[in-house]
Structures are given as C-alpha cells and as structure tokens.
Chains A and B, each alone.
Chain A
Amino acid sequence: MRREASVAIAWAALLIVLAFAAPGFFSAGNLRDLLLANVSTLLAASGMTLVILAGEIDISIGSMFAVLAVIAGLIARAGAPMPLAALTAAGAGALLGAANGGLVAGMRMPSIVVTLATMILWRNALNWATGGAWIENLPSNFQWFGLGQTAGEVFILTVAAVLVVALGWVLKNIAAARAVYATGAGAESARLAGIPVRRVVFWVFVWMGAMTGLAAVLDAVRFREVQSNAGVGLELKAIAAVVVGGASITGGRGTLLGTGLGVGLLASIGPALTFLHISPSWEKAIQGAIILASVVIDFARGAEARKNG
C-alpha cells in the first residue's frame, strides 16, 4: 500500500489546492466530463498494468487505438449494428495484441522492440490507408450507441467501471491472474513452479489489445465522426499512470488501485492548470515534474522506512 499512498498524497495535495483556488473544478459537470474524457486512458492503463506486471511493456497501443477506432467506424458505416462494431474492434484489438504477444512469447523477442516496431508499422499503415481522411457520415446510432447523450454517458462509464473493478477483483483473487504476478516477479521461478510463463505473456498482450479496442470504441462513440489520427501518445499516458501508480517497471509488483490513482492524478493536471489560469505552455513541464516528484517521493519514503526499520 505504501506506493499507492504516495500517489494518493500527491493527488490529494493537488485537489486541496484546487478546492481553495478553483472550487468550480469539483462541479458535477466537470467531474463527469473528466471521467468521460479519461475512460480510454483508464482502460488502456488497466491493460497496461497487466502487461507491466508480467514484466513486459507495450508501446504500440496508441497506434492500435487509432487503427481500431477507424475499424469500428468503417464497420458502423457499413451498416452493422453497434454491438457488432464494438465487438469487432475488441476482436481486432485482440488479434493485433496476439501479433505482439506471439512475437514476444513465441519468438522470445524483447517486448519493447516488438511493440516499437508495431507502433511505427500500424501508425504508418493507417496513415497510408486513410490518407488522413476521417470516417464521416456515420449512421445516427453510432454516437452514444444510439442511446442519446445522457444514457450513453452512463452506459460508457458503467462499462468502464465494471471492467476495471472486475479486473481488480480477478487480479487479487483468481489463480490465473496471480500467475501474471509470478511471471513478472521471476519468470524462471514461475516456470519451475509450473506456471506456463510464455502462455501468460501471450494472453496478457491479447488482453491489452482487446482493452485497447474497447477503449477506442468507447472513446469514438462520444463523437459523430472518427478521426484517423487518434491516440498519439496514449502509450506514454498509460505507462506513466501505471508507474506513477506504483507498479514496478520490471514486473511483479503493482495494483489496479494504484493505476487508477495514477490515471486520476495525471488526468487532473491539465484541467487543473486551466482552472488555475496557468499558461498551457508550461503544462508538459509540470506534468514531467510531477512524474519525477512521485517517484522521488516514493524513494524518499523508502529511505525513511529503511532507516526506521
């Protein structure tokens, strides 16, 4: 819990400043908009938590996100019902994830290299195929799944919440998910303990892809058209949230709660700066400083603990 507490403290500090300086931040409307805007990051980051827990990394998700949103849009435009479009996007995501996973687990290639290659590949292939054009003239049942704005918003948030909570529970309580921790903590000892390490790694990437597909759909349906350059930098957002949330980048340690807190902290910074009337040109610098601060705080607390223990 130590690590989660560090993020929680950093986030709480930011929120307290906001409570005094810009109480408008806490209006129901703003919180709803913030939640909706970060559903995709949250889903991507929870997929990424598993990948990082298993001791791997996936930097191709931003490119996958764009490809999958376009696929969902194309299918919807072809007249397929929305649930089918959503499932196809998730399925296609699982396939792209399986390509990563196959190369990593099957060929034993380093995941950062594999996903660096697929990141470049998917993004360029998409640019080539679409020429930058958006998917326009979507049927009216595309936006909000045809449910209307309010019901659509509730639906999106419910799906995301159920997925994340269920995943959190599974990670704590189901043996198959504990195998992910074991794999990341030490592949060799996990293997000796009878865990099919390579299969675990493969399925973790498949899961990551499927989550990216769902994230892409849940994000795309908030609009009337699908843009073809979405998701640039999503991988960095997700990785930052996971590591700020306390997961060890070498695997084996981390929780979904920490990731959730990490997403919350990083997602609050941008709007917070607008509320505090700080120039947007300093936003990246502050974001970077907060990432560094959160790891250094953790280091300092660790040093304290070592001294006292």
Chain B
Amino acid sequence: MADRNHNLALAGMLALEMAVFSFTGAQFLTVGNAFEIARLSVELGLLSLALTPVIVTGGIDLSVGSLLALVAVTFGKLWRDGGLPLGWAVVAALVVGLAGGGLNALLIARFELPPLIVTLGTYSMFRGIAEGLTGGADNFSNFPPRFLFLGQGSFLGFVPPQTLIFAAAAVGFAWLLHRTVIGRGWYAIGHAPAAARYGAVPVGRRLALAYLLSGAASAVAALIYVAHVGQAKSDAGTGYELLAITAVVLGGTSIFGGVGTIGGTLLGLFSIVVLEGGLRLSALPSELTGILTGVLLLAAIGASSLAGRIPARFPMRRVAIAGGVLAIAGGVWLFVAMRPRGGPGVRRLVIAVMPKAKGDPYFVSCRVGAEEAAAALHADLIWDGPTSMDPARQNEVIEGWITRRVDAIAVAVANDVAISTVLRKARANHIPVVTWDADAEPDARDYFVDQATAQGIGYALTDEAARLLGGHGSFAIITGALTAANQNEWIRFIRERIAAKYPGVTLTAVRPSDDDRDKAFAETQTLMKVYPDVKVILAISAPSVPGAAEAVKQSGRGDVKVTGLSLPNMCKPYVHAGIVGSVVLWNTRDLGYLAVYAADALARGTLKAGAARLHAGRLGVVQIQGTDIILGPPLVFTKANIDRYDF
C-alpha cells in the first residue's frame, strides 16, 4: 500500500507543479508545450524505464549514459566512415547496445560481481571507448531527413514520433514487470536472491535479462538522441545515469530492491521534466531545477520511509498533505520571486541570452556586459544556459524560449550542427536570432556578433606561442574538454598556421583540462617532465591558464612560459611575475553588451537585413560586414597593459 500512497502523493505534487507553472510560465499549459516536454523526456524516459527492473532486482546500472554515447558514435562512424546503409547502422547500433548490456550482465549475473562496481567500471570504459574512437573531437552529422524525422518531426503536426516508441516501451516494460513470470522473478530477486533461488527462479538468467534490456534501451535512446540533436558525439548523454536513477527512485522504487512500479517511474520522470520545463518557461535559473529536484527527492523518499515505519493506522494522508503544503509554499514563493518587475502598462522586451556554459568564468564576465546593456535598454534579460557539458541542453533551453515567445534570442553556440535546427524553428516563429561568441549555420540566425573568427584566434595564439619561443622550439597545448568544439576548431587552425608559417616550431602534445584549473595544473606538471624540451605551454581555456602558470611557477622552471586565452583578472599575478608572457582575448564585457544590443535592435526592427552599421550604446557605431557584426580584433594583454582591464 505504501506504493499507492507514494504514487498518489507524487501525482499530487505533479498536479501542483502544473498548476503553479500554468500561472508563472508563459505558454506552459498548451498542447504544443505538452508535446515538446514529452519529446525532451524520451531519451531520459527510456533509460528510466529500463533502470526500473534493474533497481527492482536490487541492482544498479551507472553505465547507461556512457553506453548511449558509445552507441551514438559507433552508429555515426559505421554510417559515415564504414559506408553502411542507415538501416544496417541502426541494427549495428542495437547490437552494440546489447553487447554493452551483455558485458554488464556477464559480470553481474555470471560472475556475481557487485553491480555498483561493475557498472562504475563500464561507466568509465564505455564513454572512454567513445572518446577513443573519435579522439573526443570527431562528430557525425548530416544524417538523412527520414532519420532525423524520428527525433525532430511530428505526426499530424504535433505528435513527436519518438513519443510513440516511448509509449510502446512503457507498455512493454509494464507488461514484463507486472504481468509476467519474469517480472515476478525480478521482484523475488530484489526481496531476497537466495530465497528466489530456492523458489526456482533462474536468478542468473533473470538478472542477465534486466541488464541486457538496459543495454537495448540505451541503444534505442542513443538513436533517438542522435535524430533529435542531429549529431553523434562522445559527450552525448553526460550525466543521464544520475537523472534516470533520480526519476526511478523518486517514483517510489526502493534502491534496496523488491519494490517499484513502471507507473511510479513515469510519475517520477514527469515530475522532474515538468519541473525543469516549467522553471524554464518561468524564466527562472536552471540551478533552481537542481535545487528543487534535490528537495523533491528528499521529501518523497522521506515521506515513504516514514510511512514504512509508522504503524498502519497513522494517517498517511497527513504526510502527503504536509508534502503538498511544502510544495505550495515553494510554488507561491516562486510566483512572487518571478513577477515581472516593470511598471504597469509598460511592455518591456524580453531578450534571452545563452552562454555555452553557465559556470565558465569567461561567460560570467560576458554576463556583466549583457546585464549592463539590458539595463540601458530597459529590457528584461533572461540569462540561462547549460550547467553541464551535454550538447542537447542548449537545444532544450531554446525550445523553452520559443514556447515562451521571448522577443529575441542571442546564443553562444556550443555546437553549430546540433543547434541550427532549433534556431531555424525560432526564426520560423518570428523570433529574431543572434549568435555570438561562436556561430551557427548562417541560415539559422539573422546576425553573428563576431569577436574573432576561429581562424583569427588560432592564428593569434600560434603567433604568440611562436613569438615566446623565438621562432624555434616546441610547445604543448592544454585544452578544455577533449570534446570541446571551439577548442578543437582553434587547434585545427593552430596546426594549419604552424605548417604554413613556422617550420621551426612543433606542437608536441595536446592534453585536456576539462575546464578544471586543478587538472590543468596536474597535466602541466606532467607535461614538463615528459617533454623537457617544451618551452611554451599554450593554454586555451580560461581556467587552464592560471592552472598551467601555477604549475610552471611551482616547478621553478624559469625557461618555460605560458600563454593562451583567458581572462586578464585571473592571470594578472602571473603576467606580472613574468610566467605568463601574454594572454589573448577580446573584451568579454563588450561582447555580452553588443550581443544584447544587436538582439534588441532586431526585436525593435531598427536593425534590418543588409544593414551596414549598428548603434550600440557606449560602443558607438559598430561595423557590419555581410551578416557579421564586428566587435573588433582580439586584445593581447601583457605586463604593459593588463592593469588597465578589469574583467
């Protein structure tokens, strides 16, 4: 009965979420939005469905997100490089998924190793193979339209095709878990494996099936993901395992096994997805989703664990009501927190601006300029973007903005192929689109605020490295994540520039920092020992310059210099100490400022196609070449000028 109580409480919370968001979120309660939310939840949903039997048996599968990435890149590679017809590539993808699930099944069911350890290992291994196969950088796109239809199209104008697959999978899993001998076997194993064995349940085979199905579901989710995002890359599905486990556990499945339903999982999934979508439409920061998800999880599990311990006569309803009251309080607070601030009757433009990653110090600094511009223009600024590396996140946020009908969108594009589809959709809905920092495909936006081309950056960085080397010697690169699209583009131009202009200079190694200062530090330390002849470290992600510089400083190697692309404030001490020779960057504040001005001018209609200049507040008149709004050349910060900048 605890099950049903839990589901009722959860259904109540879900209803409440929807009630609150229908007030706070523009366009929340529309058919279109319902299907958009459904579309976004399919990949996660498939993983959650498959994890339910796994967790019911008392196991866990941490490898689903990584397996999704592995299937996605093998599918892309077989189709593009292997020349396999699409149909066969799909079959091969399913085989890879089953093989991955099979490896887990073998180790867990046959060798009886603990699922947590096994799938922790395969979690790392599957994504590792995906990165190894592609070098992290390679990605696959330009899939034929009939395949992309699966992820982006719709039947009858509004039913996304992948939701039909999801519905079929939900029915299939529900039938298997609740209506068959196999399902009863899973519950028996979760309650007590030994007892299940005595009860003639073929424990090994049942367990194996659960992990095989999980592999198969990851494969199907991978195909849908690729069709949805339009590209396959090794960072697909990062972090999905935790989201899926959260949905399952929130849905009342006991992490100890033996208890859980598919219906509960669906409720858990929708609670999370609706929360995320609703907060987005209410223009609340995405961190709040995480915070509320955490609270929701604690409240739900706390309530059912209380219910389990308290004698049956204790009215369970009280717990549910307490939960509801809490949720209402939260909802009201939300409502108050996000009331429009403008005076009555004044229609303020809503300009939505997206960085590549919210926590990146580079974009934190762009935001200051964006806010300055919004204040000057009396516009409402929505600043939101991914907090993780997953490339699908940017698309999801923009989907939300389209539904919400913001007045203009400005995006720092993390992945041009993936995002262009959704940007075209925005334009089709008469929302002007500006790209900044990095461009999308030209027909997917009105203007590009161009701070510097990838070529310009790559060449400038190479020139600085070569200058510090005195035209001769070897250098190494510390990049962001190996999968970072921007950095990979720069590295390509760095190699090109060396080949063309600097015969005496060699690029010895490229090491990742994952945008973590500490990792950049450790990688630089090792680099200096392995390659003693490397005299310049070229660090090309903002946090990695201070990391590399600190490593050089602590090593006492006076002969090694650091240069790269970073924020002046972070690097000042090292520039003054002479460890960092120079830092290349444009004025990030002005970049954010200009992006908002351009978006605003488009929304007001003062900036039209074919314009030659733009009046941008304190920046004065800015030149436009074609569809590129030019910020100006990159700055090179040295000891002489760095103190004049504060960002």
Q: Does the CB pair A282–B131 fall under 8 Å?
A: yes
Residues of B within 8 A of A299 (CB): 111, 113
Residues of B within 8 A of A108 (CB): 305, 309
Report if A121 contacts B (CB, 8 A).
yes
Residues of A within 8 A of B517 (CB): 223, 227, 230
Which residue of the partner chain A has the closest CB to B365? A133
A233 to B47 CA separation, bound complex (whole angstroms): 21
Report if A27 contacts B (CB, 8 A).
yes
Q: How far is the CB of B116 from chain A (nearest CB, A)?
A: 5
A219 to B293 CA separation, bound complex (whole angstroms): 30
Chain A contact residues, majority secondary structure: helix
Which residue of the partner chain A has the closest CB to B511? A280
A225-B546, A295-B121 given; A109·B301 CB < 8 A? yes
Q: How far is the CB of B137 from chain A (nearest CB, A)?
A: 8
The contact size tier of chain A is 35 or more
Q: Does the CB pair B297–A117 fall under 8 Å?
A: yes
Residues of A within 8 A of B124 (CB): 284-285, 287-288, 291
Which residue of the partner chain A has the closest CB to B246? A116
Name which of B391-399, B524-532, B580-588 contacts chain A.
B524-532
Chain B contact residues, majority secondary structure: helix
A224-B573, A271-B526, A275-B526 given; A284·B111 CB < 8 A? no
Q: Does the CB pair A286–B387 fall under 8 Å?
A: no
A117 to B245 CA separation, bound complex (whole angstroms): 11
Name which of B30-38, B354-362, B598-606 contacts chain A.
B354-362
Q: Does the CB pair A288–B128 fall under 8 Å?
A: yes
Q: How far is the CB of A295 from chain B (nearest CB, A)?
A: 5
**Residue among A223, A280, A289, A292 making CB contact with B521, cutoff 8 Å:** A223
Report if B192 contacts A (CB, 8 A).
no
A219 to B519 CA separation, bound complex (whole angstroms): 12
Report if A79 contacts B (CB, 8 A).
no
Q: How far is the CB of A241 from chain B (nearest CB, A)?
A: 11
**Residue among B297, B359, B570, B573 making CB contact with A113, cutoff 8 Å:** B297
A273 to B123 CA separation, bound complex (whole angstroms): 20
Which residue of the partner chain B has the closest CB to A228? B359
Report if A134 contacts B (CB, 8 A).
yes
Residues of B within 8 A of A117 (CB): 293-295, 297-298, 301
Q: Does the CB pair B294–A288 fall under 8 Å?
A: no
**Residue among B123, B125, B256, B516 making CB contact with A289, cutoff 8 Å:** B125
- The interface centre, meaning the residue of A270, A288, A296 with most chain B CB atoms within 10 A of its CB, is A288
Residues of A within 8 A of B514 (CB): 232
Name which of B172-180, B284-292, B319-327, B331-339 contacts chain A.
B284-292
A120-B246, A124-B387, A125-B287 given; A285·B132 CB < 8 A? yes
A285 to B301 CA separation, bound complex (whole angstroms): 35
Which residue of the partner chain B has the closest CB to A223? B550
Q: Does the CB pair A110–B301 fall under 8 Å?
A: yes
How does the 8 Å CB contact mask read for B376-391 relative to A, with 1 for contact and 0 for none? Answer: 0000000000010000
Report if B136 contacts A (CB, 8 A).
yes
- The interface centre, meaning the residue of B107, B242, B387, B525 with most chain A CB atoms within 10 A of its CB, is B525
Residues of B within 8 A of A291 (CB): 117, 120-121, 124-125
How does the 8 Å CB contact mask read for A23-57 relative to B, with 1 for contact and 0 for none? Answer: 01001011001000100000000000000000001
Q: Does the CB pair A227–B518 fall under 8 Å?
A: yes
Q: Does the CB pair A249–B114 fall under 8 Å?
A: yes
Residues of A within 8 A of B309 (CB): 108
Report if A250 contacts B (CB, 8 A).
yes
Q: Does the CB pair B294–A124 fall under 8 Å?
A: yes
Q: How far is the CB of A102 from chain B (nearest CB, A)?
A: 11
How does the 8 Å CB contact mask read for A228-253 relative to B, with 1 for contact and 0 for none? Answer: 11101000100110010000111000
Q: How far is the CB of B147 from chain A (nearest CB, A)?
A: 27
Of residues 90 through 123 on chain A, the ones whose CB sits less than 8 Å from some CB of chain B are 103, 107-110, 112-114, 116-121, 123
Report if B145 contacts A (CB, 8 A).
no
Q: How far is the CB of A37 from chain B (nearest CB, A)?
A: 5
Q: Does the CB pair A110–B255 fall under 8 Å?
A: yes
Which residue of the partner chain A has the closest CB to B574? A224
Q: Does the CB pair A27–B529 fall under 8 Å?
A: yes
A236 to B120 CA separation, bound complex (whole angstroms): 8
Residues of A within 8 A of B367 (CB): 131
A133 to B363 CA separation, bound complex (whole angstroms): 10
Q: Does the CB pair A118–B302 fall under 8 Å?
A: no
Q: Does the CB pair A134–B526 fall under 8 Å?
A: no
Report if B126 contacts A (CB, 8 A).
yes
Q: Does the CB pair A285–B125 fall under 8 Å?
A: yes
Q: How far is the CB of A48 from chain B (nearest CB, A)?
A: 13
Report if A188 contacts B (CB, 8 A).
no
Report if A158 contacts B (CB, 8 A).
no
A112 to B253 CA separation, bound complex (whole angstroms): 13
Q: Does the CB pair A124–B290 fall under 8 Å?
A: yes
**Residue among A22, A30, A113, A287 making CB contact with B255, cutoff 8 Å:** A113
Q: Does the CB pair B288–A239 fall under 8 Å?
A: no
A residues sitting closer than 8 Å to B (CB atoms) are: 22, 24, 27, 29-30, 33, 37, 57, 103, 107-110, 112-114, 116-121, 123-125, 127-128, 131-134, 136, 149, 219, 222-225, 227-230, 232, 236, 239-240, 243, 248-250, 270-271, 274-275, 277, 279-289, 291-292, 295-296, 299
14 contacts between A and B (CB under 8 A): A37-B521, A112-B255, A117-B293, A117-B298, A125-B291, A243-B117, A274-B530, A275-B530, A279-B132, A282-B131, A285-B127, A287-B125, A289-B121, A295-B117
Which 9 pairs from chain A and chain B are nearest by CB? A288-B125, A285-B128, A124-B290, A284-B128, A288-B124, A121-B294, A132-B359, A291-B121, A292-B121
B residues sitting closer than 8 Å to A (CB atoms) are: 107, 111, 113-114, 116-118, 120-129, 131-132, 134-136, 242, 245-246, 249, 254-256, 285, 287-291, 293-295, 297-298, 301-302, 305-306, 309, 358-361, 363-364, 367, 387, 482, 509-512, 514-518, 521-523, 525-527, 529-530, 543, 546, 550, 554-555, 569-570, 573
Known contacts A33-B525, A120-B293, A270-B522, then 11 further A-B pairs from the complex at CB < 8 Å, ordered by chain A residue: A110-B254, A118-B294, A121-B291, A127-B359, A222-B550, A227-B517, A274-B526, A280-B482, A281-B132, A281-B482, A291-B125
